[in-house]
C-alpha cells in the first residue's frame, strides 16, 4: 500500500543519496573510498559526546561533533602513518575501529538505550526520520527533510564553487600544488563535507549504508562517463533513482514475491548495487557485454574482409595465396554466413558454383589489398621483420587503416610492388 509517508521516505532517501553521491565522486576519484568507510564509523563518538553534552539529538552540536571527529580521523591516520611508519590503510583501520569502539562504549555505558540505539547506528530509520516535524507560523515542516536539503545544498554549493580546484587536485595533486591550489587543504574540505554528510545521513540510512551511498553511485557513474561534471550529475541521479525505486520495490515488489517488509535503507542500497552491476555489464565504453559484442562484430568484419581479399586475389590470379577454398574448408559455417552477408551488401554475386566481386565489391577489396601490401612494405623497410612474417603482421593492421592513414602510408612507401613482388593496386583516380 502506498502511503503518504512513503513519499517522505523517498524524498529523504533521495536527498541523502544525492548529497552522498556528489562528495562520493571525489572520494572515488582520489582513491579515498575507504576514508568514507572510516569516517562513517568514526563519527559515532562525536555524536555520542555531543549528545552527552547537549542532550540534543539533531542539532548543530551533532554536526560540530561529527566534523571534529571526522577531521580527527584523517589527522590521526596521517599522524600514525607518518610518525609510526604504519601503512596508510592499516593506520586508518586502527583509527576508525578504535573510535567506533569508543563511541559504542559511550553510548552503552553513559547513555540510556532509549537515547541513541546502537542498532539504529547500523540500519538507520528512514520511516522515523520522515515523521519528525516542527511547526512554524502555522505551517508544519519535516525537520529531517529540511536538514537533508540544507546539507545537499551545501555540498552542491561547495563543489560548484571549488569545482576546478577539486578537479585538478584530484587528477594531479603535484600539478595542483605548483599551480597554487593547496591539495592538502582541499583534502580537509572534502573530509569535512563527508563528515557533515555522514552525520546527517546517519540516522536516515545508518552509518554503514552511508558508505554505499557515498561510493556505489559514484563508482557507477565513473564507469559510465569520463567527464567529471557529468559523472557528478549521473551519480546524483542514480542515487536519487535508487532511493525511489528501493522504496517502491518494498511497497510493490516484495509483497508480490511474498516477502515481508524490510529496512528501506537496505533496499535502496540493493537498488544502487543493481545499477552498478548493470553498468559493469552494459556500460557503452567499458561494459563487459559491450566489449563482447564489439569483439564479435570485429571478428565478423575481419572475416568478411578476408573473404573479400581472397576473392580479389583469386581474380588477380594468385591462386596459391590464401586461397578462397582454404578459408571455405577451415571455416565452412562462417564462410557461408560471410558470403550471405556480402551478397546482401551487393559486394559479391554468385557465378555458377563460384563467386564473383561486383564492381562495388571490387573497389572495396582493392582498397583492402592495397592497404595490406602497403603495410607489408612499410614494415619491411622500417623494421627488421623477415619476409615470411610480413603477412601476419600486415593482416593485423590492414583492418584498422582508414583513408588518411592509408594515404600517409602510400606517401612513405612509393614502391609499386610489395616485398613478395606482387603489384600494389593503385588507388582509383576519381575523375
Partner 1 sequence: MNWLAVLLGSVSHANWPDEETVIRLFTLQDYNTRVVLLGVTALGLASGIIGSFMILRKRALLSDSIAHATLPGICITFLILSAMDINSKNFFFLLFGAGLSGIISILCVQFLRAYTKLKEDAVLGIILSSFFGFGVVLMGFVQQHPKGNAAGIDGYIFGKTASIQAHDAQMLMINAILICIMSLLLFKEFRLICFDSCFAATQGWPVLKLDILLMGLVVIVTVIGLQAVGIVLVISLLIIPPAAARFWTDRLFYQVLIAGVLGAASGFFGAAITALFERLPAGATIVLVSATCFFVSMVLGSKRGMLMKFLKKRELDHQVLEQNLLRAFYELHEDDEGNLIPNKGARLNDLLIMRSWLENEVQAGIRILTRKGLVTKDANHNFVLTELGGIHATRIVRNHRLWEIYLITHADVATGRVDRVTDKIEHILGDKLVARLEHIVAEDYPHLHVPASPHPISGGKI
Partner 2 sequence: MKNNTIIPLAIRDLTVAYHRKPVLWDIDFEAPAGSLVGIIGPNGAGKSTLIKAILELIPRASGEVLMFGKNYSLVRQRVGYVPQRESVDWDFPVSALDVVAMGCYGQIGWFRRVTSKWRKVAREALERVGMLDYADRQISQLSGGQQQRVFLARALVQDADLYFMDEPFAGVDAATEKAIITILQELKKAGKTVFVVHHDLQTVTEYFDYLLMLNMRVVAEGPTKEVFREENLVKTYGGRLTLLDEALEAMRKRGTMG
Q: Which residues bind partner 1 (CB under 8 A)?
A: 28, 31-34, 36-37, 41, 52-55, 80, 83-87, 89-94, 97-98, 100-102, 104-105, 108-110, 118-119, 122-123, 206, 208-209, 211-212, 214-216, 218-219, 222-223, 259-263, 265-270, 273, 276, 280, 286, 288
Per CB under 8 A, the list member of 382, 403, 417, 426 interacting with partner 2 is: 382
User: Is 300 one of the binding residues for partner 2 (CB under 8 A)?
Assistant: no
Stretch that binds partner 2, among 147-155, 167-175, 260-268, 408-416 (CB under 8 A): 408-416
DSSP code of 122?
H
| 372 CB burial (10 A radius; 0-12, 13-18, 19+) | buried
Rounded CA-CA distance 33/89 in Å is: 11
One symbol per residue from 221 to 260: x for binding partner 2 (CB under 8 A), - otherwise; what is it?
----------------------------------------
Shortest distance, position 375 Cβ to partner 2, whole Å: 8
Residue 211 vs 311, nearer CB to partner 1: 211
Compute CA distances 271 → 7, 14, 142, 223, whole Å: 17, 12, 25, 17
One symbol per residue from 59 to 88: x for binding partner 2 (CB under 8 A), - otherwise; what is it?
--------------------------x---
Compute CA distances 86 → 75, 118, 184, 416, whole Å: 14, 31, 20, 66
Residue 41 vs 81, nearer CB to partner 2: 81
Question: Under a CB-based contact definition with an 8 Å cutoff, are residues 38 and 77 in contact?
Answer: yes
Rounded CA-CA distance 371/124 in Å is: 64
Shortest distance, position 108 Cβ to partner 1, whole Å: 4
- CB < 8 Å & 24+ apart, contacts of 369-372: 369/309, 369/312, 369/313, 369/316, 369/425, 370/406, 370/424, 370/425, 370/426, 370/427, 371/397, 371/398, 371/401, 371/406, 371/409, 372/309, 372/398
Rounded CA-CA distance 156/140 in Å is: 26
User: Is 414 one of the binding residues for partner 2 (CB under 8 A)?
Assistant: no
Q: How many CB atoms lie within 10 A of CB 340?
A: 11
- Report the partner that residue 219 touches, choosing among partner 2, partner 1, none (CB closer than 5 to 8 A by kind): partner 1
Residue 36 vs 309, nearer CB to partner 1: 36
Query: What contacts 188, CB < 8 A, 6 or more positions away?
Result: 71, 74
**Per-residue cell: 177:** 600544488
Stretch that binds partner 2, among 49-57, 242-250, 293-301, 421-429 (CB under 8 A): 293-301
**Per-residue cell: 82:** 607518518
Residue 57 vs 420, nearer CB to partner 2: 420
Per CB under 8 A, contacts with partner 2 among 179-218 are none
Shortest distance, position 397 Cβ to partner 2, whole Å: 5
Rounded CA-CA distance 201/214 in Å is: 11
Considering only CA atoms, which of 165, 244, 325 is closest in space to residue 7? 244
Rounded CA-CA distance 395/390 in Å is: 8
Residue 190 vs 324, nearer CB to partner 1: 190
Stretch that binds partner 2, among 39-47, 166-174, 354-362, 403-411 (CB under 8 A): 403-411
Query: What contacts 212, CB < 8 A, 6 or more positions away?
Result: 205, 269, 272, 273
User: Is 388 one of the binding residues for partner 2 (CB under 8 A)?
Assistant: no
Residue 68 vs 270, nearer CB to partner 1: 270
Shortest distance, position 143 Cβ to partner 1, whole Å: 23
Residue 223 vs 368, nearer CB to partner 1: 223
Residue 294 vs 428, nearer CB to partner 2: 294
User: Is 295 one of the binding residues for partner 2 (CB under 8 A)?
Assistant: yes
Amino acid at each position: 500500500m502506498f502511503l503518504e509517508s512513503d513519499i517522505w521516505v523517498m524524498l529523504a532517501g533521495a536527498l541523502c543519496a544525492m548529497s552522498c553521491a556528489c562528495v562520493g565522486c571525489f572520494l572515488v576519484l582520489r582513491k579515498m573510498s575507504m576514508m568514507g568507510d572510516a569516517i562513517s564509523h568514526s563519527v559515532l563518538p562525536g555524536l555520542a559526546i555531543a549528545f552527552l553534552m547537549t542532550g540534543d539529538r539533531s542539532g548543530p552540536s551533532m554536526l560540530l561533533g561529527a566534523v571534529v571527529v571526522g577531521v580527527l580521523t584523517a589527522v590521526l591516520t596521517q599522524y600514525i602513518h607518518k610518525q609510526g611508519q604504519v601503512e596508510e590503510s592499516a593506520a586508518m583501520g586502527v583509527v576508525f575501529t578504535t573510535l567506533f569502539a569508543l563511541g559504542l562504549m559511550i553510548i552503552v555505558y553513559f547513555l540510556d538505550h532509549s537515547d541513541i540505539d546502537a542498532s539504529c547506528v547500523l540500519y538507520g530509520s528512514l520511516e522515523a526520520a520522515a515523521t519528525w516535524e516542527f511547526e512554524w507560523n502555522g505551517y508544519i515542516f519535516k525537520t529531517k527533510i529540511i536538514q537533508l536539503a540544507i546539507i545537499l545544498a551545501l555540498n552542491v554549493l561547495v563543489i560548484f564553487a571549488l569545482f576546478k580546484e577539486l578537479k585538478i587536485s584530484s587528477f594531479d595533486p603535484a600539478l595542483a600544488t605548483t599551480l597554487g591550489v593547496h591539495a592538502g587543504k582541499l583534502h580537509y574540505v572534502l573530509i569535512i563535507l563527508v563528515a557533515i554528510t555522514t552525520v546527517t545521513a546517519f540516522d536516515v540510512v545508518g552509518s554503514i549504508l552511508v558508505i554505499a551511498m557515498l561510493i556505489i553511485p559514484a563508482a557507477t557513474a565513473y564507469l559510465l562517463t569520463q567527464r567529471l561534471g557529468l559523472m557528478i550529475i549521473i551519480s546524483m541521479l542514480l542515487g536519487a533513482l535508487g532511493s525511489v525505486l528501493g522504496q517502491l520495490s518494498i511497497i510493490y515488489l516484495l509483497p508480490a514475491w511474498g516477502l515481508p517488509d524490510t529496512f528501506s535503507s537496505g533496499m535502496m542500497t540493493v537498488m544502487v548495487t543493481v545499477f552498478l552491476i548493470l553498468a559493469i555489464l552494459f556500460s557503452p565504453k567499458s561494459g563487459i557485454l559491450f566489449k563482447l559484442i564489439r569483439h564479435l562484430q570485429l571478428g565478423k568484419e575481419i572475416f568478411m574482409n578476408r573473404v573479400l581479399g581472397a576473392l580479389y586475389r583469386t581474380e588477380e590470379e594468385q591462386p596459391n595465396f590464401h586461397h578462397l577454398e582454404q578459408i571455405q574448408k577451415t571455416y565452412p559455417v562462417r564462410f557461408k554466413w560471410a558470403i550471405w552477408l556480402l551478397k546482401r551488401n551487393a559486394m559479391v554475386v554468385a557465378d555458377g558454383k563460384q563467386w564473383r566481386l561486383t564492381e562495388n565489391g571490387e573497389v572495396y577489396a582493392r582498397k583492402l589489398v592495397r592497404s595490406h601490401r602497403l603495410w607489408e612494405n612499410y614494415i619491411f623497410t622500417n623494421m627488421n621483420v623477415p619476409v615470411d612474417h610480413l603477412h601476419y603482421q600486415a593482416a593485423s593492421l590492414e583492418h584498422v587503416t582508414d583513408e588518411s592513414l592509408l594515404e600517409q602510408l602510400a606517401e612513405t612507401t612509393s614502391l609499386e610492388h610489395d616485398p613478395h613482388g606482387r603489384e600494389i593496386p593503385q588507388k582509383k583516380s576519381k575523375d
